[in-house]
Amino acid sequence: MYRLLIVDDEPIIVEGLSELFSQSDYPLEVYQAFDGPEALTVARKLRIDILLTDIEMPEMNGIELQKEVLRLWPRCKSIFLTGYNEFGYIQSSIRGGAIDYVLKTEGDDSIVSSVEKAIRVIAEEVTYEGLIESARSSLKLALPALRKEYLTGLLEGEASSSAARRERFAQFEVPLDPDLPVVMAVARIDRWREDRAIGDKLLFAYSINNIFEEFVALEFDLTYFRGNHERLIWLLQPKPESGYRQAIEGNLPLHEGADAEANPEAGLHAYLLGMLESVQDACSRYLKLACSFVVSSEPFEWDMLSSKYERLSQLFGRGLGLGSQMLLSDDRAKESVDEKARSKVKRIRMLDQYLMQKERAKFEQLFDEITEAVGEPATLAAGLPLEVFYELSAIFIPHLNRFGELGAFGGQSIPGKLLSIQEHRSWREATGFFRELAELLFERMEGGNEQETSEVVEQLHQYVEEQIDGDLSLNRLAEHVYLTPFYLSRLYKQKTGHTISDYITGRRIEIAKRLLGESHLKIHEIGMRIGYDSASYFTRFFKKTTSLTPQEYRDSLK
């Protein structure tokens, strides 16, 4: 849809042209203004695509108005109306970027042709290919941020199929193979320099990455990004020509004590630890920063990225030594059953997102995965069940409160069941309780949306009844219900099956017919009762809708 703003200090012209284009099949939202300042008020609220304006107006003429509108909306196309065929005006308007200049004496056909031309020009400028090329350019600039966001999502446990990874790696230019195992290294800055200035943290992080790449880039392809808690994260794969490539392609088991020739994976592990020791020493020597590093002991599949990151992060808290300048790998503590379950539970905060976005199927799938990961615990009063229970409570309470549902449900006290795990006899009973609450919330959200939409439509209908002889432009209606015009138009049609314009036309015709049959009002008086100041435009509107003029309709009732 394109937005057309019609401006003239003669109301009959504005209303006539508005009616002409509103009743047409052109993809237009039509707005009115009766002088330059009023037009600018509209343009400051809404994007204007086509400006159809008189040149000679008080306070601000059309050329001055055009300059102001172009300052707000540089792509706006201007068409000037005038009663004077003066070369000076034509020159000024064309220089200002007008695409046409129409004399009022030329009639509606010339004006319609000019608007058609403006629509064509806009359509040619905003082509599919142009939009895609513009998007590609913007994407290039945004690639580092998008790549970080995507990889952070994988760290947090977002599900990702092999096909989806291939697509995203290509899209975000991740310089790694999505089908081969990967190695992870994570760094923590233990102590910052006392002389650092505000903003130096980011600078030091990039400096550490530069040192890391100097030592690693010859043997490894890698990507770097920053994680939560100021962690520095690298994902690595040996280059195809590297001697360590077979360790990743073969995914060989790690045998304790095996040398690098007998077991390439052991050689890879030893090389990574030695390399990180050099990086750690360089950071201390050149940057005067104390840093700790942890690294995965062997290559792992991409599906394990979240759980591996969780284990490496835990090493910072329970590693050997004094907690500073540590250099560890996760080969000291193999993954336990509890850690596998914890890696699934890590995604629990996404349930809040799915509730907020009303994504019922995704919520139910993740909820089942998390609750099944806990298994059948012997006790609810400790460990993973306790952690998951209160995480779920923290997620559900705000949503229940939003709908006023923190009361009783199914004969049970919701607060009691939410705030104490001891209110449940088993994990199965506790998860069943949360599933019932989720059903309740999704039902309330679906019902609430429908009710709110119905209220907007009812409010709109009531306003039309009260203002049938006034301003019923889409812009005014949207202001009344506090929505944007475009969104209101879509919402109304989705709810009722027809457009707002159709409804207004229908009501105006119904009222006009009733007054023609039941009153002795004159034709122009009836037109004014339903918003038409001009008898001729009312007659044209009535005939277009009913195939009869108002007088013919009145006569047919006798």
- Asked whether the beta carbons of 325 and 290 are under 8 A apart, the reply is yes
Fold classified for 467-556: Arc Repressor Mutant, subunit A (1.10.10)
What are the structural domain ranges in the chain? 2-126, 144-334, 343-448, 467-556
Is the pTM above the cut of 0.75? Answer: no
Query: What pLDDT shows up at residue 87?
Result: 52
Least confident interval from 154-158, 195-199, 216-220, 505-509: 195-199
Confidence of residue 192 (pLDDT cuts 50, 70, 90): confident
Q: List the structure tokens of 148.
A: 């970080």
Spatial distance between the Cα atoms of 246 and 240, rounded to a whole number of angstroms:
9
CA distances from 28 to 25, 347, 352 (A): 8, 46, 40
Phi and psi dihedrals of 165, rounded to 5? -65, -45
pLDDT digits (tens, 9 = 90+) for 394-416: 999 988 888 777 765 555 678 88
Query: What pLDDT shows up at residue 218?
Result: 87
CATH dotted code for 144-334: 3.30.70.270
Contacts of residue 260, Cβ cutoff 8 Å, sequence gap at least 6:
266, 267, 270
Among left, alpha and beta (phi > 0; psi -120 to 50; other), residue 283 is alpha
Spatial distance between the Cα atoms of 294 and 56, rounded to a whole number of angstroms:
75
Q: Fold match between 2-126 and 144-334?
A: no
Has residue 511 got a pLDDT over 90? yes
Q: Give me the residue label for tokens 């195809």.
A: 240
Has residue 262 got a pLDDT over 80? no
Task: From 482, 484, 475, select the one nearest 459 (Cα to Cα).
Answer: 482
Among left, alpha and beta (phi > 0; psi -120 to 50; other), residue 411 is left
Confidence of residue 254 (pLDDT cuts 50, 70, 90): very low
Query: What pLDDT shows up at residue 334?
Result: 53
Fold classified for 2-126: Rossmann fold (3.40.50)
| Strand-pair partners of 223 | 235
pLDDT digits (tens, 9 = 90+) for 39-88: 999 899 888 999 999 988 888 988 899 999 999 998 899 998 887 665 55
Rounded to 10°, the helix 11-22/108-125 angle is 60
Mean pLDDT score of the chain: 84
The most confident of the ranges 104-118, 447-461, 496-510 is: 496-510
Phi and psi dihedrals of 325, rounded to 5? 50, 45
